[in-house]
Chain A
Amino acid sequence: DGGITQSPKYLFRKEGQNVTLSCEQNLNHDAMYWYRQDPGQGLRLIYYSQIVNDFQKGDIAEGYSVSREKKESFPLTVTSAQKNPTAFYLCASQLRGSGNTIYFGEGSWLTVV
């Protein structure tokens, strides 16, 4: 089946550690996105990529990094510089074009312990 796979579903991080969240899609989509979701704040854009080897900062990129070496993959690293990383993270993808449906993964919960 085609779709977006995020892993892990749940992740615990010690303070000072970097962690990487995986996002893989087999939909042949050009654009991929990472969002952070906090209760009552909706979704906030962290990074997005419209094409391989290119990505752009979103509204809350500080403390995060990404790569886009393959069309199918868009991993997100939460670095130790992110002071409040506990949140639900959602990856999404879309064929380029404003009318095309955006597909979401099932999300990853990151908790700092």
Chain B
Amino acid sequence: AQSVTQLDSHVSVSEGTPVLLRCNYSSSYSPSLFWYVQHPNKGLQLLLKYTSAATLVKGINGFEAEFKKSETSFHLTKPSAHMSDAAEYFCVVSVNSGYSTLTFGKGTMLLVSP
């Protein structure tokens, strides 16, 4: 079985300051990990994914995440927040276990103030 914990339900930053959204996971298998962003009343858009290649993954819009197996973490970062980054972010773990392969975190709402 696998699980995902997003450690903050809300994160508030000022425009131009760094962003850190935290995600911890547990999995009995080697996981693939994803970060998705959701703007209001929209579907989820892929930001980046880790699939056992490089542990530092770069995504769209300046986001990146580092897979740390020893810490079972996959935190999402961005050096400088933009107003358009305000949205909800989901961490997802996927394993090929034959059952439901996708497990979602409960989401982190990112608020960006001017």
> In the complex, which of the residues A42, A98, A103 contacts B104, with contact meaning CB atoms closer than 8 Å?
A42
Check if A104 sits within 8 Å of B106, measured CB to CB.
no
| Interface status of B7 (Cβ within 8 A of chain A) | no
Q: Which residues of A contact B106 (CB under 8 A)?
A: 40-42
Give the bracket for the number of chain A residues in contact with chain B: 20 to 34
Q: Which residues of B contact A4 (CB under 8 A)?
A: 43
| Chain B, 89-112, CB within 8 A of any chain A CB | 90, 92, 94-96, 99-102, 104-107
- Quick one: CB contact mask for A46-60 with B, threshold 8 Å, 1 for yes? 001000000010110
Check if A98 sits within 8 Å of B105, measured CB to CB.
no
| Alpha-carbon distance A102/B44, docked complex (angstroms) | 9
| Alpha-carbon distance A43/B41, docked complex (angstroms) | 14
Q: Which residues of A contact B29 (CB under 8 A)?
A: 98
Q: Which residues of A contact B96 (CB under 8 A)?
A: 97-98
| Interface status of B80 (Cβ within 8 A of chain A) | no
| Interface status of B24 (Cβ within 8 A of chain A) | no
Give the bracket for the number of chain B residues in contact with chain A: 20 to 34
Q: Interface-forming stretch among A11-19, A65-73, A76-84, A105-113?
A: A105-113
Check if B104 sits within 8 Å of A99, measured CB to CB.
no
| Alpha-carbon distance A109/B41, docked complex (angstroms) | 8
| Interface status of A21 (Cβ within 8 A of chain B) | no
Q: How far is the CB of A51 from chain B (nearest CB, A)?
A: 12
Q: Which residues of A contact B100 (CB under 8 A)?
A: 45, 48, 56, 58-59
Q: Interface-forming stretch among B14-22, B45-53, B61-69, B70-78?
A: B45-53
Measured CB to CB, the residues of B under 8 A from A are: 9, 29, 31-32, 34, 36, 41-46, 49, 51-52, 90, 92, 94-96, 99-102, 104-107
Given contacts A41-B106, A98-B96, A101-B46, 15 further A-B contacts (CB under 8 A): A31-B101, A40-B107, A42-B107, A56-B100, A92-B102, A98-B31, A98-B32, A98-B51, A98-B101, A99-B32, A99-B52, A102-B34, A102-B46, A103-B46, A104-B36
Q: Can you pick out 23 interface pairs between chain A and chain B where the beta carbons lie within 8 Å of each other?
A: A31-B101, A33-B102, A35-B104, A40-B106, A42-B90, A42-B104, A42-B105, A42-B107, A43-B90, A56-B100, A90-B43, A92-B44, A98-B31, A98-B32, A98-B51, A98-B94, A98-B101, A99-B52, A103-B46, A104-B36, A107-B41, A107-B42, A107-B43
